């Protein structure tokens, strides 16, 4: 679970800024345990350093961070059992919690893919700057997993039912929609990221550095914002089945967006859909530490089941994209089985 993180996370003090660069471009900067620990160590040190007044987080290559290294997690857990990867979840979720309560601004410069674990690194900080290739997604239900790294807390707090839409579909969000829905706080061309970093290192006000960056502009909202009324109407339903029924009704009235969305959901793991829907309904009333503990309970049960291993095999390893889910329909997912994912565990960590 631990690689040589000294090359995979570059740690640099530049003036008033602590600069963290994810540097695993061939793996789309996917996180492993060594990277999590290196990030945590740097943030802990800079949190106590009065000379560091802000953090800058960025990635090399065509991704900010595509998530956790789920192929590696799959292989280890399948060979040695879920307990062999338990330390990764405990430490990644603790890092997410630290970022959420961090006493200094954390500015994430995001150009390209930001998914899963990359969302956990960036979304809970103070500023998320979207470059022109910004592509946000939480696609976990497509591989039999669930939206974690603080999604239980963050997604239900997005406008309307947009968080539930993201959790159940895993669809990508571009910079215009990211800004419109609050996933991003600023939009700046990626060519200006180095200039932003230098301005932040000089120690001036963070908001001023971002708003006065070359090319700073608000791109127009994208296609998801245009479908906001339909998303709210359908994804505010009382169950996944009811969401699908509303989408089907809208599709029958001629909505191509509703038809495509319903078709996408029907390819996802039924168990993951039911768990994610329950997360979205519960998470809005949880504190961040409560949300992280909930996710730890869920991930422990997910790795004891079937769909995660099947999803990774079908989508990431074999790449045919046709997993065989168990159970294979929403009707076959018992409410008691969903409830069991949220039940306390005998040995639970504390977050926060």
**Catalytic annotation present for 44:** no
| Residue 165 confidence (pLDDT) | 98
Give the chain's domains with CATH numbers: 5-340 (3.90.226.10)
Cα distance between residue 15 and residue 202, in whole Å: 6
Instruction: Determine contact, residues 89/299, Cβ cutoff 8 Å.
Output: yes
Instruction: Determine contact, residues 284/157, Cβ cutoff 8 Å.
Output: yes
**Helical ranges in 48-109 per DSSP H:** 70-80, 86-100
Catalytically annotated residue among 140, 177, 295, 307: 140
Coil, strand or helix: which one is 131? coil
Split at pLDDT 50, 70, 90, the class of 183 is: very high
Predicted confidence (pLDDT) at residue 325 exceeds the cutoff of 90: yes
Q: Which helix (H) or strand (E) holds 63?
A: strand 63-65
Q: What tens digit of pLDDT does each residue of 333-345 get?
A: 999 999 999 999 9
Catalytically annotated residue among 18, 59, 67, 68: 68
The percentage of the chain sitting over the pLDDT mark of 70, rounded to a whole number, equals 99
Q: What tens digit of pLDDT does each residue of 258-311 get?
A: 999 999 999 999 999 999 999 999 999 999 999 999 999 999 999 999 999 999
**56 backbone dihedrals φ, ψ, rounded to 5°:** -120, 130
0.95 exceeded by the pTM?
yes
Catalytically annotated residue among 32, 69, 148, 295: 148
Cα distance between residue 347 and residue 35, in whole Å: 25
Residues 150-172: what's their mean pLDDT?
A: 98
Catalytically annotated residue among 18, 116, 117, 120: 117
How far is residue 139 CA from its own chain's centroid? 8
Predicted confidence (pLDDT) at residue 4 exceeds the cutoff of 70: no
Predicted confidence (pLDDT) at residue 16 exceeds the cutoff of 60: yes
**Catalytic annotation present for 148:** yes
| Residue 21 confidence (pLDDT) | 98
| Residue 352 confidence (pLDDT) | 80
**Catalytic annotation present for 68:** yes
| Mean pLDDT, rounded, of the chain | 96
Beta-sheet pairing, 186-187 with 127-130: parallel
The percentage of the chain sitting over the pLDDT mark of 90, rounded to a whole number, equals 96
Predicted confidence (pLDDT) at residue 2 exceeds the cutoff of 70: no
Q: What tens digit of pLDDT does each residue of 78-121 get?
A: 999 999 999 999 999 999 999 999 999 999 999 999 999 999 99
Q: Residue 157: exposed, middle, or buried by beta-carbon count in 10 A (0-12, 13-18, 19+)?
A: exposed
| Residue 6 confidence (pLDDT) | 80
Residues 229-251: what's their mean pLDDT?
A: 98
Q: Which two tokens stand for residue 132?
A: 């022109």
Predicted confidence (pLDDT) at residue 149 exceeds the cutoff of 60: yes
Instruction: Determine contact, residues 191/215, Cβ cutoff 8 Å.
Output: yes
Residues 164-183: what's their mean pLDDT?
A: 98
| Residue 1 confidence (pLDDT) | 53
Residue partners of 318: CB distance under 8 A and separation at least 6: none
Cα distance between residue 160 and residue 171, in whole Å: 17
């Amino acid at each position: 679970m631990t690689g040589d993180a000294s090359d995979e996370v570059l740690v640099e003090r530049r003036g008033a800024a602590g600069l963290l660069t994810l540097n695993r471009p061939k793996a789309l900067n996917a996180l492993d345990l060594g990277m999590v620990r290196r990030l945590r160590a740097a943030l802990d040190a800079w949190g106590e350093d009065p000379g560091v007044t802000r953090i800058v987080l960025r990635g090399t290559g065509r991704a900010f961070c595509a998530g956790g290294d789920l192929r590696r997690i799959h292989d280890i857990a399948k060979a040695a059992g879920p307990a062999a990867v338990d330390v990764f979840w405990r430490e990644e979720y603790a890092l997410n919690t630290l970022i959420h309560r961090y006493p200094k601004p954390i500015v994430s410069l995001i150009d390209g893919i930001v998914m899963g674990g990359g969302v956990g690194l960036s979304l809970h900080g103070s500023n998320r700057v979207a470059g022109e290739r910004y592509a946000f997604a939480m696609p976990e239900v497509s591989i039999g997993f669930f939206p974690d790294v603080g999604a239980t807390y963050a997604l239900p707090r997005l406008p309307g039912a947009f968080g539930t839409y993201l959790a159940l579909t895993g669809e990508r969000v571009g910079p215009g929609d990211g800004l419109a829905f609050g996933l991003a706080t600023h939009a700046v061309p990626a060519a200006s990221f180095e200039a932003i970093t230098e301005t932040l290192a000089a120690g001036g006000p963070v908001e001023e550095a971002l708003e006065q960056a070359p090319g700073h502009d608000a791109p127009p909202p994208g296609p998801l914002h245009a479908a906001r009324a339909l998303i709210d109407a359908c994804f505010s339903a009382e169950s996944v089945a009811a969401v699908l029924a509303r989408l089907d009704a809208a599709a029958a009235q001629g909505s191509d967006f509703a038809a495509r969305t319903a078709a996408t959901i029907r390819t996802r793991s039924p168990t993951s859909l039911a768990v994610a829907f329950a997360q979205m309904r519960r998470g809005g009333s949880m504190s961040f530490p409560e949300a992280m503990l909930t996710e730890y309970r869920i991930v422990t049960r997910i790795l004891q089941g079937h769909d995660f291993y099947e999803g990774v095999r079908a989508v990431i390893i074999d790449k045919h994209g046709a997993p065989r889910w168990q159970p294979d329909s929403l009707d076959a997912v018992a409410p008691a089985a969903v409830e069991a994912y949220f039940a306390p565990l005998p040995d639970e960590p504390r977050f926060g």
